[in-house]
């Protein structure tokens, strides 16, 4: 059943990007790169324009549920497809723990008992995870309605408040501009990748999108544009409002900046927007956790049960519950680290594992444009080579930026999936999900 409209896909992309990242990342960026973080936002936005173009192109031409898995499989075969879905699924279920942690981080500002009790924080995080899992089991339409509501009531008002903060920016807060040197820009860009994780969202539930050829393309690019506008304005506003040391020490940097520049009402409003946006992001990524492995499971090269569909609600209920269970287990870190420590650790691991599918998607765009002329005109082929090439180089740059320790962990995660692939590949049924052949493109 196709229930996602253009507005729904835009809201899914915006909600999956403009959530915990824009509210929490300023603190991580202030620690890692200082005010140079504003440049990191701009550089990452420019690079992700080409990543968005890649997903808009591939999603419209290969509309099967699974997104990056489908593209890697079509271009490079089954094993590449498995690597893409394995790393992407790990990124999603780990990242959901980071998202709910950030939501709780803003919620503690409204409740002293919550702020003083790790047990209450843990219970609230679990309630959010499992409540939204249930909503997604009930159907994609219900989930899409929540995403649209969150975009209209938190993301857009957030942009308005950030614009109101700009006239209060102080140039003194931008100095020293690069306290760790310009070489730290790569580390800053790698952190910002966490915010842009989600630009591919419209491609993942492709079989539930109405008129996928047009809707996925437009939804991806519109979602990228709206999110980027919010990111850049908010980054400049918060950097100009507070000294870098104060931003780095806060778990609620934008709320503090809004309170300092506009008054207590703005701090309260930003806190409410952050919680709402975080819930929307968590909802969107829980939706994704059920769809990311769906086609791979149906093809027999991932856990078979994750391809099961609920007989009444027609949703991948097993995949949704399994992904939520992994995220739920990750929250045990609450009892060994601070909230900000949990967030930073999870973000770095999730960032690396989400970059691998982006690399495969960029390479797939270049490969398929050459190999599948029925889906590309000569002009589209040239454009695909350019966008795919730039996207590939940019994603490699951000892989470099996450640092050798995280790259090592990510590489180990990727290799750890190989025995699973061997097990699945030697037991899988014949045949795979296929994509209808298009009409020949006009020249």
Provide the whole-model pTM: 0.89
CA distance 171 to 280: 34
Residue 153, pLDDT score? 80
168-213 pLDDT, tens per residue? 989 999 989 989 898 888 888 888 887 898 899 999 999 999 899 8
* pLDDT attached to residue 403: 76
CA-CA distance, 421 to 442, in Å (whole number)? 40
4 phi and psi angles, rounded to 5 deg: -95, 120
Instruction: Give the pLDDT score at 338.
Output: 58
Q: What is the pLDDT of residue 443?
A: 38
* Fold (CATH) for 6-425: Amino acid/polyamine transporter I (1.20.1740)
Contact 4, 12 (CB under 8 A): yes
In tens, the pLDDT along 333-343 reads: 655 655 555 55
Question: How far, in Å, CA of 72 to CA of 269, rounded?
Answer: 42
My answer on whether omega of the bond before 337 falls inside 30° of 0, hence cis, is no
What is residue 171's predicted lDDT score, i.e. its pLDDT?
92
Rounded CA-CA distance 263/286 in Å is 35
Domain boundaries, the chain: 6-425
Residues of the chain falling short of pLDDT 70: 1-2, 20, 333-349, 429-443
Q: According to the model, what pLDDT value does residue 276 have?
A: 87
């Amino acid at each position: 059943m196709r229930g996602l409209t253009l507005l729904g896909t835009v809201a899914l992309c915006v909600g999956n990007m403009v959530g915990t990242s824009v509210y929490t990342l300023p603190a991580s960026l202030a620690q890692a790169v200082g005010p140079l973080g504003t440049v990191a936002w701009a550089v990452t936005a420019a690079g992700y324009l080409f990543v968005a173009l890649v997903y808009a192109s591939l999603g419209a031409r290969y509309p099967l549920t699974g997104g990056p898995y489908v593209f890697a499989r079509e271009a490079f075969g089954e094993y590449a497809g498995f690597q893409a879905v394995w790393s992407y699924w790990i990124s999603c279920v780990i990242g959901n723990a980071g998202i709910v942690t950030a939501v709780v981080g803003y919620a503690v500002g409204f409740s002293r008992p919550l702020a003083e009790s790790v047990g209450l924080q843990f219970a609230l995080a679990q309630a959010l995870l499992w409540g939204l899992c249930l909503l997604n089991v009930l159907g994609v339409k219900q989930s899409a309605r929540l995403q649209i509501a969150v975009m209209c009531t938190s993301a857009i008002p957030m942009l308005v408040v950030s614009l109101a903060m700009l006239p209060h920016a102080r140039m003194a807060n931008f100095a020293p501009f690069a306290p760790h040197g310009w070489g730290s820009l790569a580390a800053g860009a790698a952190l910002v990748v966490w915010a842009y994780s989600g630009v591919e969202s419209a491609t993942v539930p492709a079989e539930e999108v109405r008129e996928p050829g047009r809707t996925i393309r437009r939804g991806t690019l519109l979602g990228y544009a709206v999110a980027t506008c919010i990111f850049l304005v908010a980054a400049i506003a918060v950097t100009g409002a507070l000294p870098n040391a104060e931003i780095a020490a806060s778990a609620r940097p934008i709320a503090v900046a809004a309170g300092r520049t506009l008054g207590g009402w703005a701090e309260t409003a930003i806190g409410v927007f952050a919680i709402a946006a975080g819930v929307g992001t968590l909802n969107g990524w829980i939706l994704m956790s059920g769809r990311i492995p769906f086609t791979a499971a149906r093809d027999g090269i991932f856990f078979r049960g994750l391809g099961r569909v609920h007989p009444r609600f027609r949703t991948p209920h097993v995949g949704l519950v399994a992904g939520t269970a992994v995220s739920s287990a990750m929250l045990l870190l609450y009892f060994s680290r601070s909230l900000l420590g949990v967030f930073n650790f999870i973000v770095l691991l999730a960032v690396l594992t989400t970059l691998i599918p982006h690399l495969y998607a960029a390479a797939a765009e270049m490969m398929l444009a050459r190999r599948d002329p029925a889906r590309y005109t000569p002009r589209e082929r040239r454009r695909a080579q350019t966008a795919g090439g730039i996207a590939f180089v940019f994603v490699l740059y951000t892989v470099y930026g996450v640092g050798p320790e995280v790259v090592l962990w990510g590489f180990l995660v990727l290799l750890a999936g190989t025995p699973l692939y061997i097990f699945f590949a030697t037991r899988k049924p014949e045949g795979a999900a296929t994509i209808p052949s298009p009409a020949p493109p006009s020249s």
